[in-house]
Structure 1
Amino acid sequence: MVPVTGPPPVLAVGAAAIDEWYAVSNLPEPDGGAFASEVTSAFGGVGANVSVALDRLGRDVGLVSRVGDDEYGERAREYLADTGVDASRVSVGDDPSTRSVILSDPAGERAIVTAGESFRRLQLDEADREALAATETVFVTGYAPDAVSRTVLDVVESAADPPALAFDLSGSVEELVGRGTEPETIHRYLHTADLFVADDVAAAAYFGGAEAAREHVAAAQRAREGDGRSPSTRDGWPRAVLTHGADGMTVVAAGAVTEFDAFDVDVVDATGAGDSFVAGLIDRWIAGDGGDGPRRERVGVADGVRFAAAVAAINCTSRFAQTGLPARGEVEAFLAERGL
């Protein structure tokens, strides 16, 4: 793909990977086993999942990533070339491509094991840093190497016109040690990001539990009022979402806590549900109307959560992380059917 002259309005920093998918009879306990009735492969990686989800919603989005010079990396690049995602900032290294083994049971629950060094060795060059400073919205996953996460923060904090910043604490702290964003850097994101997202596993590992997470996030938001860079807590920013799978989500906006239900659908595969949810939040809360002042048109808390939850629910009704990602019209029809 020929590099573009300027960055798209949204840039995601995260992995583009191949998922090796096993449809298993059950998720095995320690020393237990399972039978795989089907083994196949699909496209994934948090960065690619969020980027492709935003592309399906009609957003102009680019991906900053790194793949290996091998079969997996070639397949990932060929797949991205068939989407609307700007992959001109996906570099190629000589180490094994990042890839995941996903065990998915009949209820759609899954376990994921990731291997490959390519994304873990991502480094941001000067062109990447300039693009991040010049874009309107930056998304970073907690799986990003700590040096990359810190560089993104430095770029955003020093930019003359800072882009909006969304951060997803995608895994437990123990899982991230040595390959992802470290606790000290996560703390910086908590006090800097416009949107901070964490699932139950991540919240328990980093904050010590759901209640502690709500308290810490609210306190961090209140402490940011009037700091000169962050959106004012008086107009409902910053925002954080703690996700609980089928049990819904908790939104902390300007220190105020609100609970929301998830949509009830027949789950086929929950892989990528969290990533598609984050993409929906970015679309409705951060990217705005795409006009001259995109971030001035951010929608309210409830509208954004319902839209994002619909994106995730629709995606869960298909197998794999990206196959079921909906277009905007599908999301609107889904909500209309439910009187929303």
Structure 2
Amino acid sequence: MTAGPDADDEETNRDPPAVLSIGAAAIDEWYAVSNLPEPDGGAFAREVTSAFGGVGANVAVALDRLGRDAGLVSRVGDDEYGRRAREYLAETGVDATHVAVGDDPHTRSLILSDPGGERAIVTAGESFRGLRLDDAALAATADADAVFLTAYAPDHVSRRVLDRIAALREGETADPPALVFDLSGSVEELVDRGTEPETVYRLLHAADLFVADGVAAPAFFGSAADAVERIAAAQTGTAGSASRSRDGPRGDSTWPRAVLTHGADGMTAVAGGEVSRFDAFDVDAVDATGAGDAFTAGLIDCWIAGESRGALADGDDVAAGVRFAGAVAAINCTARFTQPGLPTRSEVESFLAERGYGPDGSR
């Protein structure tokens, strides 16, 4: 394995990123289909093209577009796909110092997107699954203000990040990094591919922010309603002895702030045991691919990377943060592909102002 081409002397001497994203930098092979086929069904692709994606890269590029310092820890293939991914990252403001190159085929996703913006995704390529955190990348997690981790990260990577952050919190570090965890896929999809269920439970006790979509949350907790109930109970320490026996990020038994996304049906935020439901912004959606990653980046921007990092948001802060993140995701849906449609901060602020909200999503 070799270091990425951006890891020259100038890159090595850069200040550490404020937010370090650990995840794939994939190539999305995008099929605009007439419909999402049922089992044994068919569809016609009126257009086939490719774009840049991957949960880790999507979040890093989204934060960069919002004006945050962002870095990416990933592994790409030593092939044409991997070369394109590296060249693209070099054109962004994302610090790619810790993007390694391996011999495996580059990770890429086949995306079927119907005329309404709904999609189905199949991922192939072993490059990201072969990610190993070297000492330099692990040190970068300690230097960052916040670390984003997707459940698609290999389990040994997630466990090493958890151990490192736990050591920092237990040691003399005055300001250890905040941890953001995205339960990116269902349990069945993650087993033997990404973070294992036991590690997910560790992350739920260690994270400062937890995000899950309408597929991942029910698959892990049993149902969407069970997910909300269990998270709210765990946040207030009423979830039973098993939950109370484990320490959270601040030495207590509480779980992190959480947001469960439901696509066009909105979002459910759970903070301090309080449950709040929010509608999604109504836009003419072109492509919903990556909207969840855009939303997560918006939450990180408001709740984690801002001045209030580490403090439990009150009701007003929760609502404003969800609105801001919802605006980032909504704008992203109005353009084809994920990363080309990621908005700048000024675009998000204008979007919110047109709907009667302040630049941070407040009323």
If the TM-score is normalised by the length of the shorter chain, which range does it land in? over 0.9
Q: Is the 8 A contact 1:164 1:194 kept in 2?
A: yes
SS at match of 1:300: helix
What is the aligned partner in structure 1 of residue 325 from structure 2? 308
Which one of the candidate residues 322, 338, 351 is aligned to 1:321?
Answer: 338
Give, in angstroms, the shift of residue 162 of structure 1.
Answer: 2.0
User: How does the TM-score come out when normalised to structure 2?
Assistant: 0.88
Q: Deviations over 1:112-171 (max 9, x none)?
A: 000000101101011111110121100000100011111111111111332100000011
What CA distance in whole angstroms lies between the structure 2 residues aligned with 1:312 and 1:143? 20
Give, in angstroms, the shift of residue 192 of structure 1.
Answer: 1.2
SS at match of 2:335: coil
Matched, 1:162 2:176: yes
What is the aligned partner in structure 1 of residue 240 from structure 2? none
Which amino acid counterpart does residue 182 of structure 1 have in structure 2?
Answer: E
What is the aligned partner in structure 1 of residue 360 from structure 2? none
Matched, 1:152 2:161: yes
What is the aligned partner in structure 2 of residue 268 from structure 1? 286
What is the aligned partner in structure 1 of residue 25 from structure 2? 16
What is the aligned partner in structure 2 of residue 334 from structure 1? 351
Matched, 1:247 2:265: yes
In structure 2, runs of 5+ residues without a counterpart are 1-5, 238-242, 358-363
Give, in angstroms, the shift of residue 183 of structure 1.
Answer: 0.5
User: How does the TM-score come out when normalised to structure 1?
Assistant: 0.94
Q: Deviations over 1:194-214 (max 9, x none)?
A: 000111100111001011001
Q: 1:25 to 1:89 in 2, by over 3 A?
A: same
What is the aligned partner in structure 2 of residue 230 from structure 1? 250
Q: Deviations over 1:75-116 (max 9, x none)?
A: 000000000000010000001110000000000000000000
Q: Deviations over 1:209-258 (max 9, x none)?
A: 01100111112222389957428899xx8310011001101100011111
Quote the RMSD (CA, aligned, Å). Answer: 2.0
Q: Is the 8 A contact 1:11 1:132 kept in 2?
A: yes
Q: Is the 8 A contact 1:53 1:326 kept in 2?
A: yes
Matched, 1:280 2:280: no
What CA distance in whole angstroms lies between the structure 2 residues aligned with 1:256 and 1:4? 44
Q: Deviations over 1:268-317 (max 9, x none)?
A: 0000000000000000010004xxx8556978101100000000000000
Report percent identity of matched pairs.
72
What CA distance in whole angstroms lies between the structure 1 residues aligned with 2:312 and 2:200? 28
What is the aligned partner in structure 2 of residue 219 from structure 1? 233
What CA distance in whole angstroms lies between the structure 1 residues aligned with 2:146 and 2:272? 20
SS at match of 2:250: coil
Which amino acid counterpart does residue 179 of structure 2 have in structure 1?
Answer: L
In structure 1, runs of 5+ residues without a counterpart are none
Q: 1:172 to 1:56 in 2, by over 3 A?
A: same
Give, in angstroms, the shift of residue 328 of structure 1.
Answer: 0.3
Number of positions where the alignment pairs a residue of Structure 1 with one of Structure 2: 335
Structure 1 stretch displaced more, 68-77 or 128-137: 128-137
Matched, 1:79 2:88: yes
Q: 1:238 to 1:231 in 2, by over 3 A?
A: farther
Q: 1:153 to 1:297 in 2, by over 3 A?
A: closer
